[in-house]
Amino acid sequence: MRIVILRLGHRVQRDQRITTHVGLTARALGAEGMLLDSDDRGIEKSISEVDSRWGGSFYVRRITNWKNEIRNWKESGGKVLHLTMYGVNLPDVINDIVTEKLLVVVGAEKVPPEVYALADWNVAVGNQPHSEVAALAIVLDRLAALSGTEPLKTQFSGGEVEIVPKSRGKEVREK
């Protein structure tokens, strides 16, 4: 399944770190890229530095009209999953999430009400408030498990370095 994240409501001063973590988590768990509803170039820069050093082709694309992005995505056959604590709890909906192309909407500040109507699924990762990073990680992991894939084993091609996994200590190898 192709997965792209749509990050809505990013505030340049407040959300820089958490939006970067949304992108890094999406990248590490198999998503192909993130659409960022903001003109903050800093996120794009820090994620592309991670790609250059650690490999892979995860992208960040700044967008100006999120409604058009959602409409275009749906017109091209994609489905939209909105992560919200008010939604249907993930264990109760996961088996319905069947598609080749999934746009996962993650909010920062209050999400506009239209998102709830445009989404195919409004999904809660438990109906309690917590973090968009945690919610995204759990939903990507559960979707991968359902499709029998293991995103944690992804090989990130290109890049300058790679980690040699060790039970103790740290080893990073130049490629």
132 binds ligand SAM (CB under 6 A): yes
Per CB under 6 A, the segment of 52-60, 77-85, 92-100, 152-160 that binds ligand SAM is 77-85
DSSP secondary structure string for all residues of 68-112 = HHHHHHHHTT-EEEEEEEEEEEHHHHGGG---SEEEEEEESSPPP
Contact call for residues 14 and 41 (beta carbons, < 8 A):
no
Q: Nearer Cβ to ligand SAM, position 50 or 108?
A: 108
If one asks whether residue 126 binds ligand SAM (CB under 6 A), the answer comes out as yes
- If binding is defined by CB under 6 A, does position 135 make contact with ligand SAM? yes
Among 23, 30, 33, 107, binds ligand SAM (CB under 6 A): 107
**3-state secondary structure (DSSP) of residue 26:** helix
Kindly state whether residue 85 participates in binding ligand SAM, applying the rule CB under 6 A: yes
Q: Is 106 in the site for ligand SAM (CB under 6 A)?
A: yes
For the chain, how big is the Rg over CA atoms in Å? 16
CB 133 within 8 A of CB 19: no
Please identify, using beta-carbon distances, which residue of 55 and 122 lies nearer to ligand SAM: 122
Between residues 134 and 161, which has the closer beta carbon with respect to ligand SAM? 134
Taking CB under 6 A as the rule, does residue 19 contact ligand SAM?
A: no
Q: Whose CA is closest to 6, among 57, 74, 53, 52?
A: 74
Residues in the chain, overall count: 175
Contact flag: residue 91 with ligand SAM (CB under 6 A): no
Q: Is 113 in the site for ligand SAM (CB under 6 A)?
A: no
Amino acid letter, residue 2: R
Contact 108, 11 (CB under 8 A): yes
Site for ligand SAM, rule CB under 6 A: 83-85, 106-108, 110-111, 124-126, 128-130, 132, 135
